[in-house]
Amino acid sequence: MNKTIQTVESAAAGSAFLIEDVYPLIDGGRFAVKRIAGERVEVWADIYRDGDAVISAALIWRGEQDREWRSEPMIPHGNDRWSGAFTPAEPGQFVYAIEAWTDEFATWSHAVARKRRTGADVSLDAIEGAGLLTKAHGARQDAAQVITRQCEDYLQTGDVAPLLANELGKAMAESQSRPDLTCSPLFPLIVDRDRARFGAWYQMMPRSQSEVPGQHGTLRDCIARVPDIAAMGFDVLYFTPIHPIGHTHRKGRNDAPVASEGDPGSPYAIGAAEGGHDALHPELGTIEDFRALVATCLEYGLELALDFAVQCSPDHPWLTQHPEWFKWRPDRSVRTAEGPYSDIVIPDFGCVDRTGLWNAFRDAMLFWIDHGVTIFAIDNHDTAPLPFWEWLIGDIRRRHPEVILFSKTFARPKLMKGLAKLGFAQSFSYFPWRTAKWELEQYLGELTGYPERDFYRANLFVNTADLLPYHLQSGEPWIFKSRLALAATLSGNYGIFGGFELLEHEAIPGHEEYLDSEKYQIKTRDWNAPGNIKPYIAALNRIRNDNAALQQTAALRFLGIEDGETIAFAKEAADPANTVVVVIALSRHAREFWLPLGDVTVDAGGQRHHVTALENLLTGEQCRIEWGGISLRIDPDRDPALLFRCLA
């Protein structure tokens, strides 16, 4: 009997409202939605209760560590669907929720207005309405004045009209009690700075920047290259690891299992007698040189990104200082990684002193942040447990919300997405292996669809230090330009590895790896060698910087060109006045085709208009649109990409 009464009482005390189908939401709110500072966060939800009472709803939000909530009204759109929006101005971690309640005074007002229109007596209703005014509390001064004035008008005249005034309804909406106020769960939101959304990355091996053949490059040599990289229009200068390199099991040229005399080893085998993750390789220079590099980058509008690999060489100081952080074999030798990675050791992230190990990696990252690094590319992080990454990302974000963490893995697709959900601001992609038109359309459709677009920011690297895709191994200029144009225009973020601009393409036969890779030897180049495509790269980056439509990824729509070897798409900026159409050849043959533009529109003066002309973003030439499209010709040997700004 008592149990039955308790069940009934519990149900009676439940929420008056159902708040459902909230958008955006990642896995029911388990993971954070991602946005950019200054970007509007639009939230939709189904909000309803029984009966025909008038309801109100608000979108509330605050910084994760803040106490005070901010509130924005939600607007009904029919069929119990509501929307609201807010705009965080600064990067950080936020939470938001939806509140709903019954607007008792509006419910009374609507009922009386309907009754009054039929000519029925509303004198008793007026008394009830006046009684509701007495329950108003906490009103702002202007609202309190309205409530008092309208109540006095009613008492003096006995006419219900003062109680039905619109201004009184507004005053009561914010002043009456909300006994059935219902709040949704709190939903997490990560807000990054703009560089998480848009940037061109240039990756390079610092030790290969010397102009003297065979000589180990220094940070001063890197400083000398900054003007050239900035002139190509890059935003991020991205270094492979810069730490001391181990000697035990050091790899030789072309990944030989045994190094020869003078082989520098892989920079990913981190740690030697000179130090570990918070130390510089001594041949690169000093920490003062590093500070000078950061300052020079800032002078030229570049940010410095570092590879951050959670692995060690067998010579890392931690192995002697903290042997409990590693796994040891019965003969007391440390357990190294399997197969081709015998020069590295994976720490035991589940060891007894996991707190000490986790904090050590966090402190190493904080060391470089203190020296001006604002971006980290996390390498080989599929070797560390997911809870470690969730903890590290959260800890760094709370301390330094301006820092961007890039998930560099290209492991299994679900693992890549899972890591992105944990909070990485950017992620590597399968773009290097998507070459056919249908593959590109399908893959980008996936990345720009819901929910991926709300948590996965793809950085489309064309090549990397250890990846030379098969399609680049021909060395043909058109394919280098085509892949560059695809990456630079499909995504707000893209990158290349140094040497791409020189069309480097010599591979280990049968592999997607560079022959004589810089991972295992020092390389010297003439960065202005004949045949380079540096002007082409600079032109693409200039167009990206001039057109907001190309500075994001989500607002992407493919256009229906019938030619299977040509891909076309339109991108629209948050400011819809900037819409760009891109056409890129996927094979070398010159071709003519019809580009349909009938459903592409441009904002002009606050209204949508069909496109009437295209402006070539490279030449400035304008061409008129007739019959809903235009006939174009593309010659990949001359330029495999056509980029247009749409004109109304």
Q: Is the pLDDT of residue 123 over 90?
A: no
Tokens coding 609: 């208009």
Q: With H, G, I as helix, E, B as strand and everything else as coil, classify residue 648.
A: coil
Give the pLDDT of residue 363: 98
Mean per-residue pLDDT, 536-551:
98
CA distance 16 to 48: 9
Give the pLDDT of residue 174: 82
Q: Is the pLDDT of residue 545 over 90?
A: yes
Beta bridge partners of 633: 592
pLDDT tens digits along 363-405: 999 999 999 999 999 987 668 999 999 999 999 999 999 999 9
Q: How confident is the model at residue 30 (pLDDT cuts 50, 70, 90)?
A: very high
CA distance 583 to 494: 18
Give the pLDDT of residue 3: 46
Question: By the 8 A CB rule, do 237 and 304 touch?
Answer: yes
Percent of the chain with pLDDT over 70: 98
Average pLDDT over the chain reads 93
Closest CA to 263 of 521, 5, 462: 521
Domain pair 18-103+181-191 / 556-647, same fold: yes
Q: Is the pLDDT of residue 342 over 90?
A: no
Mean per-residue pLDDT, 58-76:
96
Fill in the amino acid letter for 536. Answer: Y
pLDDT tens digits along 305-321: 999 999 999 999 999 99
Give the pLDDT of residue 10: 42
pLDDT tens digits along 217-245: 999 999 999 999 999 999 999 999 999 99
CA distance 460 to 467: 13
Beta bridge partners of 634: 591
Q: Is the pLDDT of residue 7 over 70?
A: no
Residue ranges of the domains in the chain?
18-103+181-191, 120-174, 200-318+354-550, 556-647
Rg (CA), the chain: 31
Give the pLDDT of residue 341: 84
Percent of the chain with pLDDT over 90: 79
CA dihedral defined by 226, 231, 237, 240, rounded to 10 degrees?
Answer: -70
DSSP letter (8 states) at residue 555: S
Q: Is the pLDDT of residue 6 over 60?
A: no
Q: Between vectors from CA 393 to CA 388 and to CA 398, what angle results, nearest 5°?
A: 130
pLDDT tens digits along 587-620: 999 999 999 998 898 887 778 889 999 999 999 9
CA distance 273 to 445: 49
Q: Is the pLDDT of residue 4 over 70?
A: no
More confident residue, 19 or 13: 19
Class level of CATH domain 18-103+181-191: mainly beta
Classify residue 636 by burial, with Cβ atoms within 10 Å: 0-12, 13-18, 19+: buried
Q: Is the pLDDT of residue 13 over 50?
A: no
Q: Could you tell me which CATH number the domain at 200-318+354-550 has?
A: 3.20.20.80
Give the pLDDT of residue 381: 62
Give the pLDDT of residue 1: 45
Residue 160: HSE in the Cβ half-sphere, 13 Å Cα cutoff: 23
CA distance 243 to 54: 64
Give the pLDDT of residue 598: 85
Q: Between vectors from CA 512 to CA 507 and to CA 515, what angle results, nearest 5°?
A: 25
Question: By the 8 A CB rule, do 631 and 594 touch?
Answer: yes
Give the pLDDT of residue 253: 94
pLDDT tens digits along 475-509: 999 999 999 999 999 999 999 999 999 999 999 99
| Residue keyed to tokens 């002309």 | 613
Q: Within a 10 A sphere around the Cβ of 508, how many other Cβ atoms?
A: 14
Q: How confident is the model at residue 14 (pLDDT cuts 50, 70, 90)?
A: low
DSSP letter (8 states) at residue 201: E
**CATH fit for domain 556-647, picks 3.40.50.720, 2.60.40.1180, 3.40.50.300, 2.60.40.2550:** 2.60.40.1180
Fill in the amino acid letter for 480. Answer: F
Residues sharing a CB contact under 8 Å with residue 568, sequence separation 6 or more, in sequence order: 558, 559, 561, 581, 582, 583, 584, 595
Beta strands in 251-348 (DSSP E): 303-309
Mean per-residue pLDDT, 107-135:
88
Question: By the 8 A CB rule, do 272 and 248 touch?
Answer: no
